[in-house]
Structure 1
Amino acid sequence: MTSDPLSCRSRKRSRVSRAPEQEGETMMNFRNAGILAGLALSVSAAALNAYASEPTIPPAPADFPAEGKINYVARDSILEFKALPEYHEPDWVTKNFVASGKLPPVKDRLPKEPMVFKTGNMPDGIGVYGDTMRHVIGGRPEGWNYGAGQTQGWGGIDIGLSECLTRTAPLFQVQASDTEPLPNLAKSWDWSEDGHKLTMHLIEGAKWSDGAPFSADDIMFYWEDEVIDPNVSPLGGGASPEAFGTGTTLKKVDDYTVEWTFKEAFPKQYLYTMSYPNFCPGPSHILKPKHPKYSKNTYDQFKNAFPPEFMNMPVMGGWVPVEYRSDDIIVMRRNPYYWKVDEKGNQLPYLNELHYKLSTWADRDVQAVAGSADISNLEQPENFVASLKRAAEETAPARLAFGPRLIGYNLRMNFSANGWGNPDERGQAIRELNRNEDFRKAVTMALDRKAIGDSLVKGPFTAIYPGGLSSGTSFYDRNSTVYYPFDLEGAKAELAKAGLKDTDGNGVVNFPAGTAGGKDVEIVMLINNQYTTDKSLAEGVVGQMEKLGLKIVINALDGAKRDDAHYAGRFDWLIQRNTTELSSVVQNTEQLAPVGPRTSWHHRAGKDDQLDLMPFEQELIDVINKFRTSQSNEERVDLMKQYQKISTEHVNTVGLTEYPGALIINKRFSNVPQGTPIMMFNWAEDSVIRERMWVAADKQGKYELFPEQLPGKPGEKGPIN
């Protein structure tokens, strides 16, 4: 996808005379052995004169010829819902399970009108059954209770288990003018004449993987007892009541119909919010008996009622967890009640088994390139060069395809001075600083982004990223992006304007007398300890902020602990890899601003449920609210230009770097869409539509750990044969 061709008034000033390549022409020092963190830079006086602190627009990124091109299609060419004259399944399922009476015939296991993937949209056409897709992940499962906030370990596990009201990941191949979420659990919907009511028609006759019927009761349990219940927080961060609009209600009409009522007219944006990860209901027949509203359980007991060892958890997705070995592997087998087929009536998925080897995120790339794993999102730049070299060899088992620059990192400052996270005196003083625009400008001007990018990988991969929308999204407008160039002396002047001086001469600025005891300004920065890129960026920020006179202390936490600290507000700053609202804009749009008490990543309400908004944040909210209800594509493009200007001018976030990602996938797999980005509307594990991927019979490996077996009963150990 390319930048929008329409332009906005440029903010370039006449004083800016340097060329982009001048930025960061400095010598790097290595702060820690093994970590490319050479960002504590020494700059000559002559070099300083070449920089200017006047805001401008970011330099154009380098051309990247390796970027894969997307084959764009019409939205309605991907799938439909209809009954077919006959249905098929793997022969061994018929022989071992249907013939013996353990399973009903396939036609009785499918809904009245299953989802049908159209052959014309399949790159390699209708497939054959068999084989395994082997994943490697760095996360670890907390349990199977997604709706109560438990992670399954990421890396595509939850995407393979969960099905949501709508689906957006495959929309990367649809032109923006035709973009609207795809139907999924909701097979169709109708708006009332005034646009305030949305009636959703659910798939009729579909079943959970244990054979229990799926119905509106599952939707209502998720809404009333997980999204609305203040004591439950579904995974994903966006499944809060306000994410679907203030005052929004949902009611059951009948077993296969639900009705939304909105305060706004035609808020079509919420159709995106109803996709992964925000509206993916769990099996109410399993969950409801454990919920405190219907039992004597506490909320903690409810959340932890389905630990990783609980096998055969009912799902609506294509594969069911049947084996878990701690720190070793998770195995998932095909769902015999899956409700999707191809045009010949073959019940999907084609693949019998999924593996998730529990290792590290860096190991995922290594194993996928080597052929001992089958798929990876190459998102850590440190691995780019070696992966490209191996993929270029004739004997390489995997192909590697780069997408647009949609992987980015922001430094987010905690803007909540209202008690979110219960900060101590020092923490509260930092939050007040974070809310000071002079302070934020000092931080962004003190960052040499060219050096930051080069510390990760040299070459045409990384681009200077001031923050805001990703340059790879169709809504991005460079001329609406305000960029404060690297200027350390200018940054120090901004810091002085914010009232910070080094009063004790130790190289670190102090709080003013009467604030936090006048001590050194010490900032605790939360990062994800599981990614080399995150740690490298953090070391770089520490080094560059040291030059500015700020002491940064890294709080590196793994996965779930890091998420807990983030969502609880226990951070001064955090480094976060960009999420879908910055890469797609239309997905999770509410996370672009604090439109509700809990929609922003770095500014949430305190115990009184009230936000302490700054004026520019209210401007962002106004823009986002208009965007969410606008019916005009032209107006939406213009609104995002306004958003980008306000956000970057006031330093809502501090951009660090951005770069393309690459999908690594074993060459034996068919039906991989060309140009699949590793992240746009969702991660590539969703975008590639794994349920319709297949392996030709002569290429299939003997990787299945449980051949010719199906999931057992919920809670029982392992699959059955």
Structure 2
Amino acid sequence: MKSFSKKVTLVMVFVLIISMSFVALAQEERALLGKLEMGEVVQFKNLDSYNEAPELKEMVENGELPPLEERLPTTPMVRQNETMVDGAGVYGGVWRDTFAVPIDGWNWGAGNVQGYFGIHQILWESPLLRGEMWKLNEPDPVPNLATDWEWTNDGKTLVMNFIEGAKWSDGEPFTTEDIAFTYNDLILNEQITSTATADDWTYGGQVTELEVIDENTVEWHFGAEYPMSALINFDRNNFPVSPKHVYARFHPEYTDSANYENYPTAIPAHDVPIVTMGAWVPIRYSAGEQLVMMRNPYYWQVDEAGNQLPYMSEIRFMEAESGETRTNNLVSGQGDRTNLENPSTFAMVRQESLKEDSNFTMSFGPFTSVYRLEMNLSKEFGVSDDREAELRKLFRDKRFREALTSAIDKEAISSGAFPGPLTAAYHGAYPDGSVYHSADNTTVYSYDPEKAKRILEEEFGFEDTNDDGIYNWPEGTAIAGDELIIQLKTNEDSAASVQASEALVPMLREVGINIRLQVLSGPNNTARTNSGDFDLSVARVDQAGTPYYFMDLIGPISSTTPGYHQEGSEYPRELLPFEQEIADLLQELRLSRTAEERIDILHKIEKLYTENIYTIGLYQLRQGLAINNRFKNISSDLPPYLYDYMVNAMPLQIIWVAEEDQYDELFLDEIPVEETYMNTEWSSK
């Protein structure tokens, strides 16, 4: 039976390799990678006339909404035809999707989780966008709420202008007061867990100061000249703007009766609709079942014909227990897109896509995503007993890290995940698909379990005193005689992370280490990381290929990053010598002004990272996308992940579906208006 299964798998892999070759050659005319100028992506300008979706037009006629011209900005953002490979769309239809992380609440400025899986990207709007940079021949952040920006001559002030006359989904004006509230009262507020911290905004030892000039203009004053990396901080992931008129009433700085303990839970998950600048608005949420979103009547973007976006009317997110359900829903015809991140599903999905009646197309990018083993390097933060204290000493010793990596057969883990061209062994720092990766700067530690045991015995004095195959702690330690037991946590939402973790258990047992695997829910896994309550952790890192844009993943850029070496409020962080070198290089990187400088610095970091085994690489993989064929304006080379995930790389609002392929909307009579918001629980608080 095993032999037959193996033959079937190899046949599927062969089919996948051949079909991938055809995909790579297909549809050049629908490709956008590196082809466009900024002005061919977005512009801000007035058009002669504007159009709106039929359901909104009817609401205007019924007196439920103001006319479109009053809802649009003074100068709307115009999505350019060059980005629309199928042209301007038609209105209507339903987007069917799936998410697998429960929604905490809607206060994203205070760390609430909105379910991930694309929901954040739909709701959060920011000054700039990095996700769409892949289309540009000269990649730079793309304007969004900010229309333009310019450095002053001394390079220490950035003047930034914002879209004029735009409105939140409840019809209230968007102004620079919302920017100031998000920055000063959320990001810089130590009492609130926001998407960024003051560390992220510190340059030259000075926290960046924001000066509001008027309703549409601000100035950012920096402590160093031309901190170009600051533009990264204006992205959706780092600076999702919160509506001041909604959240100030819950904020202690504005309301005497408010407190920081209750602020994060200001708007619970069930209390919808919520206020957003996004293209769709949540209007129904049943925990464990479904999230429904409807088009935002006040959305501030149009196409070149003046059609207010988005094209699609309705989004329905089914809530599931696992991300694999999203893939299964697409294959079965019940969903419209999925990320291909779990290697165990690759061959199955590809086989389904090749069927004559297949309803979707799939594609894969270069090696960009990695799985790695993270060791908790914090000396005291999160330590609760002698065992944990002794383990932290081991993790901070390069010799022990070398023993661990020598005990792990990375080729076997890679092949176990998927025996084919989509996975490969990984040795730390950046994946092979990254422009910053250099094999010459990567130290490779080979699989050598005998070496691992030799290090543990000769360098640390471990012995198996009772012949049960597990080492016992040596004399001189606080837990002498106890077994060498290490807890390993991972996220149940990532099947591949669980599989890799399970593979580590027998490998490390072979060298005398008893691994206790803990498979945790997503929120619990995150909470354990944030509190420093873990020994080892297997993590999937999708951003490893773009370290300039995610410096927190490669070193100590702030007090809370990386997650495996944080600083606690009562425990100052003691960086290891090589970590301090990386930290210094990261500060240089933040102030670098040319691509050449960045590559040189990142090569130095890669060398330090892999030499010192900062984390232990397990395997890397090519991420994929599978999208329903009925979706229009999907470019043939849309990357699964480059500067950001597909849902940030693709402006979802320009996706459309031909009328004959549309599913009927069910909630057109629930598009939110001013009265709808007045009936929410949060509006009466």
Matches within 5 A, 1:159-308: 159-175=121-137, 178-235=138-195, 239-245=196-202, 246-247=205-206, 248-295=208-255, 296-308=257-269
Identify which of 49, 60, 74 aligns with 1:98: 60
What letter is aligned with 1:556?
A: V
Q: Following TM superposition, by how much is the alpha carbon of 1:368 offset from its aligned partner in structure 2, in angstroms?
A: 0.8
SS at match of 2:617: strand
Q: Which of residues 432, 435, 441 in structure 2 aligns to 1:480?
A: 441
Contact map agreement 1:370 1:396 (CA 8 A) in 2: no
Indicate yes or no: 2:98 matched with 1:141. Answer: no
Match of 2:46 in 1: 83
Deviation string for 1:433-467 (max 9, x for gaps)? 11100111111111111110121222222111011
CA drift at 1:606:
2.2
TM-score by length of 2: 0.92
Equivalent position of 1:371 in the other structure: 333
Cα distance between partner residues in 2 of 1:147 and 1:445: 42
What secondary structure is seen at the aligned counterpart in 1 of 2:262? helix
Aligned length: 653
Distance 2:18 2:336 in 1: 31
Q: Is the 8 A contact 2:625 2:640 kept in 1?
A: yes
Q: Is the 8 A contact 1:190 1:198 kept in 2?
A: yes
State the match for 1:449 in structure 2.
410
In structure 2, do the counterparts of structure 1 residues 68 and 117 end up closer, same or farther at CA, with 3 Å as the change threshold? farther
AA partner of residue 277 (structure 2)? M
Q: How does 1:16-27 map to 2 (within 5 A)?
A: none
Q: How far is the alpha carbon of 1:620 from its aligned partner?
A: 1.0
Pairs within 5 Å for 1:654-673 = 654-673=616-635
Range with greater deviation from structure 2 (104-113 or 287-296)? 287-296
1:526 aligns with 2:486: no
TM-superposed CA distance for 1:67, in Å, is 6.8
**Cα 1:404–1:231 shift into 2, 3 Å:** same
Map 1:299-448; keep pairs closer than 5 Å. Answer: 299-359=260-320, 360-417=322-379, 419-448=380-409
Q: Is the 8 A contact 2:343 2:417 kept in 1?
A: yes
Which residue of the partner structure matches residue 550 of structure 2? 588
Moved over 4 A (4+): 61-64, 66-70
What letter matches 1:170 in structure 2?
E
Q: CA deviation at 1:666?
A: 0.5
TM score, norm. by length of structure 1: 0.87
2 CA distance for matches of 1:217 and 1:66?
51
Which one of the candidate residues 517, 521, 535 is aligned to 1:554? Answer: 517
Any idea what SS the aligned residue of 1:543 has?
helix
2:463, 2:474 within 8 Å by CA — same for their partners in 1?
Answer: no
The residue identity in structure 2 corresponding to 1:259 is E
Asked if the contact 2:84–2:633 (Cα under 8 Å) also holds between the matched residues in 1, the reply is yes
Q: Provide the rounded CA distance (Å) in 1 between the counterparts of 2:478 and 2:37.
A: 57
Please give the secondary structure, in 1, of the residue aligned with 2:371. strand
Asked if 1 retains the 8 angstrom alpha-carbon contact of 2:547 and 2:553, the reply is no
Which structure exhibits the higher relative contact order, with contacts defined as CA atoms closer than 8 Å and separated by 6 or more residues?
Answer: 1
Deviation string for 1:25-67 (max 9, x for gaps)? xx99xxxxxxx9xxxxxxxxxxxxxxxxxxxxxxxx9997477
Looking at structure 1, the residues matched to 510 and 101 of structure 2 have their Cα atoms a distance apart, in angstroms, of 35
Q: CA deviation at 1:228?
A: 1.4
Q: Cα deviations across residues 70-116 of structure 1 (Å, max 9, x unaligned)?
A: 63223412111112121110122112x11222211111111111111
Please tell me whether the aligned partners of residues 402 and 675 of structure 1 are also in contact (alpha carbons under 8 angstroms). Answer: no
CA shift, 1:608, in A, is: 4.4
* TM-aligned CA deviation for residue 634 of structure 1: 1.6
Residues 287-324 of structure 1, C-alpha deviations (whole Å, 9 max, x = no match): 11011333323323111121111101000111000011
d(CA) in 1 for partners of 2:319, 2:548: 33
Identity of aligned residues (%): 32
In the TM superposition, what is the alpha-carbon distance from 1:471 to its structure 2 partner? 1.6
Partner AA of 2:561 in structure 1: T
Offset, 1:579: 4.0
- The 3 A distance-change label for structure 1 pair 64 and 426 is farther
Gaps spanning 5+ residues in structure 1: where? 1-26, 29-35, 37-60
- The Cα of 1:211 is off from its aligned counterpart by 0.5
| Contact 1:127 1:350 (C-alpha < 8 Å) held by counterparts | yes
Amino acid at match of 1:660: R
CA distance in 1, matches of 2:190, 2:358: 51
Which of 504, 522, 525 is the equivalent residue of 1:541? 504
Secondary structure at 2:456 match in 1:
helix
Give SS of 1:648's match.
Answer: helix
Q: 2: CA distance between counterparts of 1:353 and 1:152?
A: 18
Change (3 A) 1:513 1:609: closer
Matched position secondary structure for 2:344 = helix
Name the residue aligned to 2:12.
none
Superposed displacement of residue 596, structure 1:
2.1
The aligned amino acid for 2:261 is: D
The secondary structure found in structure 2 opposite 1:439 is helix
Asked whether the 8 Å contact 1:240–1:598 carries over to 2, the reply is no
In the alignment, residue 329 of structure 2 is paired with which amino acid?
Q
In structure 2, the CA distance between the partners of 1:294 and 1:482, relative to structure 1 (3 Å rule), is: same
Cα shift at 1:184: 1.0
Q: What amino acid sits opposite 1:606 in the alignment?
A: G
Q: In structure 2, what is the equivalent of residue 23 of structure 1? A: none
Alignment CA distance shift 1:539-1:259 (3 Å):
same
Amino acid at match of 1:623: L
- Distance, in Å, in 2 between the alignment partners of 1:259 and 1:233 is 25
Q: In 2, distance between residues paired with 1:542 and 1:251?
A: 54
Q: Tell me the CA shift for residue 354 of structure 1.
A: 0.9
Structure 1 contact 64–460 (Cα < 8 Å) conserved: no
Contact 2:50 2:308 (8 Å CA) reproduced: yes
CA contact (8 A) 1:462 1:657 kept: yes
Show structure 2 runs of 5+ residues with no match.
4-8, 10-16, 26-30
Q: Deviation of residue 185 (structure 1)?
A: 1.3
Q: Aligned pair 1:121/2:83, yes or no?
A: yes
In the alignment, the residues of structure 2 paired with residue 104 and residue 324 of structure 1 have an alpha-carbon distance, to the nearest angstrom, of: 27
Q: How far apart, in 2, do the equivalents of 1:136 and 1:171 lie?
A: 26
Structure 2 match to 1:499: 460
In 1, Cα distance between equivalents of 2:485 and 2:589:
38
How many angstroms apart in 1 are the aligned matches of 2:61 and 2:331?
A: 42
2:35 maps to a residue whose letter is V
AA aligned to 2:177 is D
Indicate conservation of the 8 Å contact 2:425/2:618, yes or no: yes
Summarize deviations over 1:160-212 as a string: whole Å, max 9, x none: 0110111011122334xx12111111111111212111121111111110001
Measure, in 2, the Cα distance between the counterparts of 1:66 and 1:448: 33
Which position in structure 2 is the counterpart of 1:570? Answer: 533
Equivalent residue letter for 2:197:
S
Corresponding residue number in structure 2 for 1:131:
93
**Match runs of 1:596-607 below 5 Å:** 596-607=558-569
> What is the distance in 2 between the residues matched to 1:454 and 1:85?
58
* Distance in 2, Cα, partners of 1:614 & 1:534: 27
CA distance in 1, matches of 2:301, 2:486: 51
Decide which of 633, 636, 639 is 2:598's aligned counterpart.
Answer: 636
Structure 2 residue identity aligned to 1:212: E
Secondary structure, in 3 states, of the residue corresponding to 1:553? strand
User: Structure 1 residues 78-87 or 207-216, which shifts more?
Assistant: 78-87
Shift of 1:622: 2.1
**Paired AA for residue 141 in structure 1:** I
More moved, 330-339 vs 120-129:
120-129
